[in-house]
Chain A
Amino acid sequence: MTFYLLQALNGLAYGMLLFLLAAGLSLIFGLMEVVNLAHGGFYMLGAYLALSAVRWTGSFWIAAIAVPLVLGAVGFLLEWEFLRPLYRRTHLDQILLTFGFAFVFSDLARWWWGADVQSLAPPPGLDRSIPLLGTFFPSYRLFVIALGAAMAGGLWLGLGRTRLGAMVRAGVANREMAQALGIDIGLVFTGVFAFGAALAGLAGVIAAPIQGVFPGVDFETLIVTLIVVVVGGLGTLPGSFWGSLLIGEVDTFGKTLVPQMALVVTYLVMAAVLIVRPTGLFGGRPR
């Protein structure tokens, strides 16, 4: 029993990481119908940059704050300089562009950080296991769960209770109408894109002590995140949240119970959800 509870906690921690990724990807898609295939690249760069930043500054916490800021700026530039000029073209052109950036990020990382699996020590204070349920559980994972829950709450409030949040929700539901009201949806999108990149980068920093970082982790992560977004429903924050927790648990239990089949189990869950609800758990009208 305890074993399953601990696995459930592991799944929860993984789910929270997925949420940081899915929230951005889903909102970006909801707003502009652009699937950002470089999203996994931001995650990977977040992890690698965290390694370098910790080596450089000696502090995990500085890395956890600075790296997402840097990647948010990179996301801003990518959107402003490269995606924006493609607005008048098809969505496919924009998606292909993000795919190109995914490869650029991937090659850059391999060139700078090498091909070995690397990992990061949890920050002092969170590097121990604490007694839980009659056994021990890594305190860092509890921290990840708490951080994810806090970010989810913050995003929920930010989206639900603020001016900018109302603009984003209005744009996701009906972009033309939002524009007709005088809302500069292009600017809102730039902001969401940059914020999504920063969140993905934060996920990378936070994941580094648990999962390490290695070439290919970007595309692996992108695929799981896409599954989460499809399962949860495009463009909805609650969908990203519950979809992340579901896939986090399914993946974790899949890996412990049927290790050879873990990914298959995840795909089966996705298929099952889509059969029952083609627009995802929280998805509204089909687009």
Chain B
Amino acid sequence: MTASLLQVSGLVARRGSVEVLHGIDLEARPGEILAIIGPNGAGKSTLLGAIAGVYPARAGRITLAGRPITGLPAEAVVRLGISLVPERRQVWSGLTVREHLLLGGYHRYWRHRSEVRADVALPQGIFPRLLDLDRRLGGSLSGGEQQMLAIGRGLMARPRILLLDEPSLGLGPLIVREIVHALDRLRRAEGLTVILVEQNVKAAMATADRVAVMERGRIVLRGTPAELLAHPGIKAAYLGKGYEIAG
């Protein structure tokens, strides 16, 4: 077993005045894709946001490669190598594709000015469409293009861990496959760790190394996709009848 890169223990977080996460334990290992699935309102987005420092932790501990990052603001967390690609993409309608990418890297700009300019080639290499769309405004892109942009923007931070919140939402299977392939390539080439929140359980199971199932603010089950598929409850609750493991 490899040492964990991200370690979350006993994490409690609120949205507004409601406690949404009631003590989450989770670890992510270097280079793995960890999927988090669960019903609407389970707290999946809150968990990603809490790891990224967008929502403060009320209790518990988060460490990145052994270093505590609990309580750090989002802008500090991203500098340490955790990049959030949020739910519903959050693309800026009035900014161009290139501006999005550059903004994703600007916190490194002072020290690595020329690098940031060159780094744009990384997301463009992964999603060549971004190169064609360079001057287009975010608001004029299709859903799939926006998702590629959101991921590309997140990659500009040169993260060690990418937190991806429902990238397949509203996208056709072809685009989903393209994104999944891209993640896989990144993991192989750069050793990127991905924590992937998905409603599309089929896609998640096919991509992930390990899966955690979340319900009402707790992780209720975890294991490899094969283990979870063998679990009687999972099949019934998430996959419906007649589902077979793809490929």
Residues of A within 8 A of B (CB): 163, 166-167, 169-170, 173-174, 176-185
Contact = CB atoms under 8 A, between A and B. Distances in A.
Contacts of A177: 86, 90, 92
Contact of B92 (A174, A179, A184, A185): A174
Interface stretch (B58-66, B73-81, B227-235): B73-81
B172 to A, nearest CB: 25
Given A163-B102, A163-B106, A167-B106, A179 B73 contact: yes
Contact of B107 (A173, A176, A183): A183
Contact of A174 (B73, B74, B78, B90): B90
Given A173-B92, A173-B93, A181 B99 contact: no
Interface string B2-18: 00000000000000000
B208 interface: no
Given A173-B93, A174-B90, A180 B103 contact: no
A169 B108 CA distance: 19
Chain B interface, DSSP helix/strand/loop, else mixed: helix
Contacts of B94: 169, 173
B92 A169 contact: yes
Given A169-B94, A173-B94, A174-B90, A179 B54 contact: yes
Contacts of A166: 95, 99, 102-103
Contacts of A179: 54, 73-75
A208 to B, nearest CB: 36
A181 B78 contact: yes
B153 interface: yes
Contacts of A167: 103, 106
Interface of B: 52, 54, 73-75, 78-79, 84, 86, 90, 92-95, 99, 102-104, 106-109, 153, 157
Contacts of B153: 181
- Which residue, of B78, B93, B95, B106, has the highest number of chain A Cβ atoms within 10 A? B106
Nearest to A166: B99
A150 B92 CA distance: 28
A183 B90 contact: no
A178 B107 CA distance: 11
A182 B92 contact: no
- Which residue, of A174, A176, A177, A184, has the highest number of chain B Cβ atoms within 10 A? A177
Contacts of A173: 92-95
A177 to B, nearest CB: 4
A178 B78 CA distance: 11
Given A163-B102, A176-B54, A177-B90, A184 B75 contact: yes
B1 to A, nearest CB: 31
Contacts of B95: 166, 169-170, 173
A183 B92 contact: no
Contacts of B106: 163, 167, 181-183
A37 B243 CA distance: 62
A193 to B, nearest CB: 18
Contacts of B74: 176, 179-180, 182
Given A181-B78, A182-B75, 13 more contacts: A163-B102, A166-B102, A170-B92, A170-B103, A173-B92, A177-B86, A178-B103, A179-B73, A179-B74, A180-B86, A181-B104, A183-B103, A185-B75
Contacts of B78: 180-182
Given A170-B103, A179-B54, A180-B54, A163 B90 contact: no
- Which residue, of A163, A179, A185, has the highest number of chain B Cβ atoms within 10 A? A179
A181 B78 CA distance: 7
